[in-house]
Structure 1
Amino acid sequence: MLSQSMILSFEALNLWAILLAALSSFMLGGIWYSPVLFQKTWLEGCGLTELDLQTSDPKMTFGMAFLLSLLASVFMAMVIAPSFSLIGATAFGAGVGICFVASALGISYIFEQRPLKLFLVNGGYHMLQFTLIAFVLRIMS
């Protein structure tokens, strides 16, 4: 359980580290969901086509994705204690990605009867996303 002393105040946050962590997370998503890695599997699992991607508003889509990455980075910066080692912070980030985000996605995907491949793509991204955010935050502090 997090104690009051483990949660940093907003004034104590390293805003440059948070910005870099958010940017790293955002860039990871760009690579993860690209044709180089999992775009085809992700599109099939979602029932989307490349045409669907072309008709969406990229400013809105990517702008909101970055803002949400920024929000996740601010939260992680607030809960990663300064006493965490690099390995401890990174493991904490992986734990958040697996135990909170991927497990929540998994519950939804089971009831929505979504494909396992889609869960593995999205859950894998979020596990790496939070691991990366924690890693960047720790090395920048």
Structure 2
Amino acid sequence: MDMNSINWLAVLVAGISAFVLGGVWYSPLLFGKAWMSENNLTEEDVKKGNATKIYGWAFVLSLIMAANLAMFLADTPAECTGNCAQKTDVTWGTIAGFLAGIWGFCAIATVALFEQKTARYIFINGGYALLALTLMGAIIGVWR
């Protein structure tokens, strides 16, 4: 894979999009209260967390997910030396992101089942992974 075929600005924006989506997804506007309830957390418990560590690592991990997805979507052939056609566009990027999100959803669900978590927990966290990766794929695909 030619690392020059990756649009690193798109990776950055895709990573930021997942980070921002997480902020909205886990806010009281959407699933924040349900997520806290499923994890037996209070607002005081959440405030006790090390925000720098939590948000810092969440941002880094979002960037890693975006970079990994971009590597899967980097479809410029190695033998290409000129103006070669690329297969990845917004449609394929979105589909690929969704399919990667299925992996994430299933991984979260598997761990949650062994932790004896509820279906609600699985759909809150797995739904975030599915939507975040779909959004990242769309951004990477449209920005080819």
Identity of aligned residues (%): 33
| Root-mean-square deviation over aligned CA pairs | 1.1
Count of paired positions: 133
User: How far does the alpha carbon of each residue in 1:35-64 deviate from its partner, in whole angstroms, 9 at most, with x for none?
Assistant: 000001101111211111111111111110
Worse overlay, 100-109 or 36-45:
100-109
Between the aligned partners of 2:45 and 2:12, the Cα distance in structure 1 is: 30
Tell whether 2:126 aligns with 1:123. yes
Partner SS state of residue 30, structure 2: coil
| Runs of at least 5 residues in structure 2 that lack an aligned partner in the other structure | 76-85
Between the aligned partners of 1:9 and 1:72, the Cα distance in structure 2 is: 18
Q: Counterpart of 1:107?
A: 110
Asked if the contact 1:92–1:134 (Cα under 8 Å) also holds between the matched residues in 2, the reply is yes
Partner SS state of residue 83, structure 1: coil
Q: Counterpart of 1:134 in structure 2: which amino acid?
A: G
Q: Counterpart of 2:26?
A: 33
Tell me which stretches of 4 or more aligned residues in structure 1 moved more than 3 Å. Answer: none
Q: Counterpart of 1:87?
A: 91
1:14 is displaced (CA, Å) by: 1.2
Q: Counterpart of 1:20?
A: 13
Worse overlay, 106-115 or 26-35:
106-115
Bigger Cα Rg: 2
User: How far does the alpha carbon of each residue in 1:101-136 deviate from its partner, in whole angstroms, 9 at most, with x for none?
Assistant: 111111111111101111000010000000000011
Asked if the contact 2:94–2:137 (Cα under 8 Å) also holds between the matched residues in 1, the reply is yes
Q: Whose helix proportion is higher, 1 or 2?
A: 1
User: TM-score with structure 2 length normalisation?
Assistant: 0.88
Asked if the contact 1:9–1:78 (Cα under 8 Å) also holds between the matched residues in 2, the reply is no
Q: Counterpart of 2:90 in structure 1: which amino acid?
A: L
Q: Counterpart of 1:4?
A: none
User: TM-score with structure 1 length normalisation?
Assistant: 0.90
